[in-house]
Structure 1
Amino acid sequence: MNIFRLAGDMTHLMSVLVLLLKIYATKSCSGISLKTQELYAVVFLARYLDLLTDFFSLYNSVMKVVFIASSLAIVWCMRYHRAVRRTYDRELDTFRHYFLILGSFVLALIFHEKFTVQEIFWAFSIYLEAVAILPQLVLLQRSGNVDNLTGQYVFFLGAYRGFYILNWIYRYFTEAHFGRWIASISGLVQTALYADFFYYYFISWKNNAKLKLPA
């Protein structure tokens, strides 16, 4: 494992911890898209099917279990925890995320590296993760003001993708058979989706002001 992947994993983990802190400490999920959280739960469940068949390392297995468990816990809290679900912005979170699931699955059936169940679901998870943030970004644009913890959550998610792009560049030049082109292209698409958010995040940080996104 290189430093870029480790940094990516840690910022990804930080995004989850920040979101859990917001939900459990404030008993609020205001500003958080349930649609995005459901998409991430599907992403992790589809990608980590190899937990049942392969063992790479203790670190690898633990991280996979953490991301699956945390994503399911977040979805459960937003749907069924009495205090938390009352704060859910249902009227703003109306993105039709089922189309993203369908489109990603069709892409996986057409563009994959090997026609096996595990590889099809892996490709599906990569395509879906590339666009899973869309409902969250749309909700933030509709609400305008972004609270500090929500802003940090999205920031760490974007940073995670940025570090993974550096990881792929590093592996391309150091590994003889690195050919995960699906992950690389999807990662670039996903990172590009964060560009607008990062611009306004930087402006608010520079001016020491509250983060606001244009509607």
Structure 2
Amino acid sequence: MTLDEATSTMNVLVQQGSTAAHQIGTLYNHIVSRKLAELAGYKTSRAYFNKHVKGLSQATLSAYGTVARQFPESVCTQYGMFNLRALISYVEATGGAMGSDPGLLTIDVPQEDGKVVTKPFSDCSVEEVERATRAKKAPPPVRVPVPDQARLLFFEDSLFRNFNGVAQVRFSAHNEDGKTFLNLQNVPMQEVTRLIQALQEGLEAQPSLLAK
């Protein structure tokens, strides 16, 4: 199929909506893989599509092409192109295998309360798959050791008491290579003595149990 023939067919299919998405993706891959646009004098295939296929964005064309390259038309019709595009990203993030029926693939979907619910792909929305992908890509948080957490609370309380009404001192902490680091901001130079006193109080504070 020539460049003009493929483009003409794509524009007709665009008018048919999402039902022709797999065919559009196949034609898109045909033009891109054979560099038909470049051979016709265009700098890139993107520049060609921007001029000659105005019914769909480059992002949509690229998504259709990616999905059409991996799935047959029947699967695309069943699950939808954008659902499958999201699934491809999820599988890439997890390093898993797609399987013969993508609908059976389980997705670890994070919830607003922090819990993770495992659902089959066939029951997931695009937003849920994308949320699951972001969670898989994000590095696991490095938490401050539990013994240090209690001490940090003492420091925070002491800093608040000593600087309340004096300065808005910001206090935070983070963990690097197993070590806890304190971060202090907005400490006025003339209040360094107050800072030392607050840290000393936080260092000497001990937990206490209320009488029952």
More helix by share: 1
Which structure has more relative contact order (CA 8 Å, sep 6+)? It is 1
Which is greater in Rg? 2
Q: TM bucket by the smaller chain?
A: under 0.3
TM-score, length-scaled by structure 1? 0.23
TM-score, length-scaled by structure 2? 0.23
More strand by share: 2
